With several copies, the nearest count.
Chain A
Amino acid sequence: MYSDKVMDHFENPRNQGTIEDADGIGEVGNPQCGDIMKIYIKVRDDIIEDVKFQTFGCGAAIASSSMATEMIKGKTVKEAWDLSNKAVAEALEGLPPQKLHCSVLAEEAIHKAINDYRAKNGLEPWEEKGGHQEHHH
């Protein structure tokens, strides 16, 4: 059902954990849906210097968190913001259709973390897409 890439990120998740003095934290989902994703970012000079995640969810949710954190590490905040769930799913060599929404979670958690960082630094939050599209738990 899952690609080898998904299974690799699932079994050996990259960037799993927390950042004590994070510059931004984003949390999405809720336990009732069976998925919660929390992203921690450390930003220096507009660069995502470090990123960690915690996820309660299925294989796709965990693998998406892992892949998404890898993809934004070392990128500018704007580049991180522009990471789409589609890109995450593609990097994972595809997700089953009923699991696409799990990669949306990653995109949303990153947006939340970035806006948290912006808010803490007195910046206008960027406009989030809002809501869990295709998320029909």
Chain B
Amino acid sequence: FIYMDNAATTPTRKEVVDAMIPYMSDNFGNPSSLYSIAELSAEAVETARSQVASAIGALPKEIYFTSGGTEADNWAIKGVAFANRDKGNHIITSQVEHHAVLHTTEWLEKQGFEVTYLPVDKYGMVSPGDVRDAITDKTILITIMTANNEIGTIMPIAEIGKIAREKGVLFHTDAVQAAGHIPLDVSEMNIDMLSLSGHKFRGPKGTGALYIGKRVKIDPLMHGGAQERHRRAGTENVPGIVGLGKAIELSAAEMEEESGRISSLRDMLIQKLLEIPKSYLNGHPKIRLPNNVNIVFEYIEGESILLMLNRRGICASTGSACSSKSLDPSHVLMACGLPHEIIHGSLRLTLGHDTTEDDIEYVVQNIREVVQKLRNMSPLTPPELRNN
């Protein structure tokens, strides 16, 4: 099959699996223990910490391992909210964040916090000026994602970081889709907290990290043992942490070459798909993740596109409500101002390490056929686009 859903998850790369295995049954010690075998685990965790740190321009002691991007986001936001309640109760975020951010801030609203959800432009981009204008003397946190998971738009986070630093407000960024794919530097970009997730860059599922800069006052999300310098309790997932470290190290080393190759495949795919009539690109035409294609085909519905592509061995994703358990259409495409019926026909293709030019050809050919087949079936399709 052809896997074009690398934004959902990626296969764990072989080097990563190989690095993990020794920490499962052999060097299995609990890093908190005193004996020699446990020291091997503790050292492996520290190596991974350095690997993550150097990929984002942080210090090793500023990296905390979590169970994934969701935990990192929940921790950053709830942790800062509860620890800084005396300073204020206002949080700024955007309408196009991942649910790991949005459902967290919604929950905090129930706990008495106030949240500003900034709008975006038609490309899904947050404006730094809007961020600045939203800051009040009660604002304790700004959380804006580095790059959007659905449409791939890369946010102006360096500008937002600068504003946040000037105003003395903490700035968190959900870099789950960006880390391992585009260059990031927490100190240059004035980022106080950054979330990342291993399985988005060919690392293991169930692993992630939160970078926490030195000026951040934060409560734990996981209370308990003294792990992670008393900030994140729980026996360390040593194999997972080792895998995360290895994956980000390799991604950083290969980033330049890999993102060049993938973004030209992306551009080729976009160009060919836009030849299909009544199709439009979602997200920013240029400032987007190297691997993201999000395109809308009018008159048809996303879940049925996916099902037909699946029968042809192609894995993709959609923002259509019909494909989601909650039956809500993509909040991201809504925030970009697209009407419901257009959102329903959106298709996200996210390329990966294994994607080839042949794959692009095959996918384009099949999408053409599927789109035509579904348009023939749809009551909305105008006669000139039917061929039956």
Contacts and interface: CB of A to CB of B under 8 A. Distances in A.
Interface of A: 1-2, 7, 10-11, 13, 16-17, 27, 31-38, 54-59, 61-62, 98, 136-137
Interface string B207-241: 00000000000000000000000000000000000
B304 A59 contact: yes
Given A31-B380, A136-B327, A59 B340 contact: no
B110 to A, nearest CB: 22
Given A1-B39, A98-B325, A34 B379 contact: no
B301 A58 contact: yes
Contacts of B39: 1
A31 B344 CA distance: 8
Contacts of B184: none
Contacts of B278: none
* Range for the number of chain B residues in contact with chain A: 20 to 34
Given A17-B388, A56-B301, A57-B304, A36 B379 contact: yes
Given A31-B341, A32-B340, A58-B304, 6 more contacts: A10-B307, A32-B339, A34-B329, A61-B322, A98-B327, A137-B321
A103 B34 CA distance: 20
Contacts of B301: 34-35, 56-58, 61
B377 A58 contact: no
B311 interface: yes
Nearest to B327: A137
Interface string B149-162: 00000000000000
A136 B325 CA distance: 11
Contacts of B299: 56
Contacts of B363: none
Nearest to B378: A56
A16 B303 CA distance: 18
A20 to B, nearest CB: 13
Interface in B280-327: 299-301, 303-304, 307-308, 311, 320-323, 325, 327
Contacts of B344: 31, 34, 56
Contacts of A31: 340-341, 344, 380
B303 A59 contact: yes
A59 B34 CA distance: 11
B6 to A, nearest CB: 21
B376 interface: yes
Contacts of B328: 137
B311 A7 contact: yes
Contacts of B327: 98, 136-137
13 contacts: A7-B307, A31-B340, A31-B344, A32-B340, A34-B329, A36-B378, A38-B379, A56-B299, A57-B322, A59-B304, A59-B307, A62-B304, A98-B325
Contacts of B339: 32
B34 A27 contact: no
A91 to B, nearest CB: 19
A38 B377 CA distance: 10
A16 B377 CA distance: 6
Contacts of B321: 33-34, 137
A112 to B, nearest CB: 13
A127 B324 CA distance: 33
A13 B340 CA distance: 25
Interface string B316-358: 0000111101011100000000011100100000000000000
Nearest to A17: B388
A123 to B, nearest CB: 26
Nearest to B300: A56
Nearest to B34: A1
B379 A27 contact: yes
B304 A11 contact: no
* Residue among A37, A58, A98 having the largest count of chain B Cβ atoms under 10 Å: A58
Interface string B350-388: 000000000000000000000000001111100000001
A54 B344 CA distance: 17
Contacts of B308: 10-11
